[in-house]
Amino acid sequence: MSNLRVEGVQTLEAGGTYELVKIEGVCTVHGDIVGESIDIDGVSTMNGDLGGGRLDCDGVATINGNVQLDDVECDGVTTIGGNLRAKRVVINGVLTVKGSRVEAEKVLCEGVLTVEGELNAEVIEADGYIMAHEIVGERVVIRSRTNRFKRLFIRWFDSKMGKFNFIEATEVELRKVSAKTVHGHTITIGPKCEIDTVDCSGTLHIDPSATVGTITGNYTLV
Amino acid sequence: MDEEHISKKELLEQTGISYGQLYRWKRERLIPEEWFIKQSAFTGQETYFPREQVLTRVQAILNLKDTHSLEDMSRIFSPEPGSAIAVADLVGFDPLNKELLFALGEQGGGSTAYYSSGEVVFLAALSPYVGKGGFGADIAARLASSVFKAAGKRVPTSASCILFRVGDEGSFHVVLCSGATSPLFDEKVVVIGALELARNAELLGSYLQTINQKA
């Protein structure tokens, strides 16, 4: 298998299967790419689907297509025009997914994650900023907190992030999150949460500083 | 929602599965996305499923989950609609009416060598109706051929599909709609039956696994 290396400023038709894809310059790549290891340190626009093993983005990447990889690590700024499917997604930078869904076994977010549709993962752990229309899975832990991002963009983040339409998982743990609906079996509504409706089928804990509207289900308050 | 549908809450209670399992199976395409029908409710949002289809599917998954991996089950329940299957490999696939397959090949409406799994699922679901009430193999083959032209190779296997006739002596047609909802027809339309696409997709998935293992 060959490698694809892009340095300098280039526009190329480079659809194909590669062992290593390394983009260090400024480039526009047309065509579907499958790569065992994809590193983006420069500024890249990819017009096509991206598949394969691992994507490590330290630069700025716009992928106008669907992404299906084992591992996605985003330390830079990545925008995906389609859907994202991966085993593991780690976000320390900014990742925006404009498609209808993100599917993963594990999502760890210490940066900023925006999903315009449904985020469905076995485990979702977010200490950074996360915004999605719906979050569903086995275990969802969202602890919004003040960090370097918030100091930079305090008003914008406050108005946009940590607000959800719908969260549903077997185990849900939230802190400083606003949501219309939270459904789950074991639910912890932590400090400063604002939830309109909670439906719980197991144990429910609500912090005294949280605001919760309607509570339904067969639950035990702890 | 009507009796044909079941709420997510009721589904979880009846089957004993968790939210996590449900969404894992959705992620792995064991339960088609089209079966998740969202509606607003007093609890904020409720999701409904086609009752019979989802209960059958969940039971089938529960029966297999201890002996099969998620990947294996995914291949059984949602064989890639575009993947090619050799006609020679379809000889042992019992739900498929071979007369229909032959008629399709004769008319040039299908391939002589390969069909996509979506096409095979459609043909297998159509098979129980072939030879009944004037719906001969030739007519069924012409209908299948026109569906394949309309849908390309990717005949959806999780959609609702109704076989109907326009008037008692009229021509036969099918309508495919996503979302597992049944369409309403005017009174001049004679509904013949609902094609069991999802069930036949499962049967094809199991069959393909068996012949792959033998190979």
Q: State the smallest CA–CA distance between residue A196 and chain B in angstroms.
A: 8
Q: Give the model confidence (pLDDT) of B53-68 as tens digits.
A: 899 889 989 988 888 8
The pLDDT, as a whole number, for residue B133 is 84
Query: What residues of B are in contact with residue A214 (Cβ under 8 Å)?
Result: 42-43
Across the interface, do A120 and B23 touch by the CB < 8 Å criterion?
yes
Q: CA dist B81 to A50, A220, B145, Å?
A: 21, 45, 16
Per-domain residue ranges for chain A?
4-161
B191 touches A: beta carbon within 8 Å? no
A70 touches B: beta carbon within 8 Å? no
Following DSSP, what letter does each residue of A176-197 receive, concatenated? S-EEEEEEEEEEEE-TT-EEEE
The pLDDT, as a whole number, for residue B180 is 56
The interface predicted TM-score (ipTM) is: 0.88
Across the interface, do A185 and B19 touch by the CB < 8 Å criterion?
yes
Pairs across A and B, CB distance < 8 A: 52
Instruction: Give me the count of residues in chain B.
Output: 215
B24 touches A: beta carbon within 8 Å? yes
Minimal Cα distance from B40: which residue of A? A181
Best A124, A168, A196, A200 residue to mutate vs chain B (most B CBs within 10 Å): A168
Residue type at B96 in one-letter notation? L
Residue type at A128 in one-letter notation? G
Residue A168's SS3 state is strand
Domains of chain B: 5-77 (1.10.1660), 84-214 (no CATH)
Q: State the smallest CA–CA distance between residue B66 and chain A in angstroms.
A: 19
Minimal Cα distance from A105: which residue of B? B24
> Is A158 a residue whose pLDDT tops 60?
no
* Phi, psi angles (nearest 5°) of residue A161: -95, 160
The pLDDT, as a whole number, for residue A95 is 95
The pLDDT, as a whole number, for residue A34 is 92
Is B130 in contact with B192 (CB distance < 8 Å)?
A: no
Question: How does the average pLDDT of chain B come out, rounded?
Answer: 83
- In angstroms, the CA B189 to CA B191 distance is 6
Predicted confidence band of residue A46 (pLDDT cuts 50, 70, 90): very high
Predicted confidence band of residue A62 (pLDDT cuts 50, 70, 90): very high
> Is A176 a residue whose pLDDT tops 80?
yes
Best A100, A138, A164 residue to mutate vs chain B (most B CBs within 10 Å): A138
Output B193 or B106, whichever has higher pLDDT.
B193
Q: Give the closest residue to A53 by CA, choosing from A74, A69, A72, A32.
A: A69
User: What's B181's DSSP letter?
Assistant: P
Q: Give the closest residue to B7 by CA, choosing from A217, A209, A155.
A: A217
> Is A134 a residue whose pLDDT tops 60?
yes
B23 touches A: beta carbon within 8 Å? yes
Predicted confidence band of residue A8 (pLDDT cuts 50, 70, 90): confident
Pull the structure tokens for residue A52.
Answer: 């394969």
Across the interface, do A169 and B19 touch by the CB < 8 Å criterion?
yes
Residue of A122, A184, A214 lying closest to B24 (CB–CB): A122
Q: State the smallest CA–CA distance between residue A197 and chain B in angstroms.
A: 6
Minimal Cα distance from B43: which residue of A? A197
Minimal Cα distance from A167: which residue of B? B45
Q: Give the model confidence (pLDDT) of B95-153 as tens digits.
A: 999 888 888 887 765 555 778 888 889 999 999 999 888 899 989 999 998 888 887 66
> Is B189 a residue whose pLDDT tops 60?
yes
> Is B2 a residue whose pLDDT tops 80?
no
- Scanning B17-136, the segments in alpha helix (DSSP H) are 19-27, 51-64, 70-77, 98-107, 117-126
The pLDDT, as a whole number, for residue B78 is 73
Q: Give the model confidence (pLDDT) of A65-79 as tens digits.
A: 999 999 999 999 999
Is B191 in contact with B168 (CB distance < 8 Å)?
A: no
Q: Give the closest residue to B56 by CA, choosing from B194, B196, B211, B163.
A: B196
> Is B16 a residue whose pLDDT tops 90?
yes
Residue type at A41 in one-letter notation? D
Across the interface, do B20 and A122 touch by the CB < 8 Å criterion?
yes
Is B148 in contact with B109 (CB distance < 8 Å)?
A: yes
Residue of A165, A170, A216 lying closest to B18 (CB–CB): A170
The pLDDT, as a whole number, for residue A151 is 55
The pLDDT, as a whole number, for residue A159 is 56
Residue of A165, A183, A214 lying closest to B19 (CB–CB): A183
Query: What residues of B are in contact with residue A171 (Cβ under 8 Å)?
Result: 20
Pull the structure tokens for residue A69.
Answer: 């990889």
- In angstroms, the CA A26 to CA B123 distance is 50
Across the interface, do B19 and A138 touch by the CB < 8 Å criterion?
yes
Predicted confidence band of residue B160 (pLDDT cuts 50, 70, 90): confident
The pLDDT, as a whole number, for residue A212 is 95
Q: Give the model confidence (pLDDT) of B176-188 as tens digits.
A: 887 656 778 888 8
The pLDDT, as a whole number, for residue A198 is 94
Residue type at A185 in one-letter notation? H
Q: State the smallest CA–CA distance between residue B32 and chain A in angstroms.
A: 14
Residue of A120, A183, A184 lying closest to B27 (CB–CB): A120
Best B43, B47, B74, B178 residue to mutate vs chain A (most A CBs within 10 Å): B43
- In angstroms, the CA A206 to CA A187 distance is 8
Is B146 in contact with B121 (CB distance < 8 Å)?
A: no
The pLDDT, as a whole number, for residue A191 is 93
Residues 6+ apart with CB under 8 A from B99: B130, B131, B137
Across the interface, do A183 and B43 touch by the CB < 8 Å criterion?
yes
Q: Give the closest residue to B119 by CA, choosing from B151, B93, B158.
A: B151
The pLDDT, as a whole number, for residue A202 is 94
pTM for this structure? 0.76
The predicted model gives A87-104 an average pLDDT of: 95
The predicted model gives B72-88 an average pLDDT of: 75
Query: What residues of A are in contact with residue B26 (Cβ under 8 Å)?
Result: 120
The pLDDT, as a whole number, for residue B44 is 62
Is A38 in contact with A21 (CB distance < 8 Å)?
A: yes
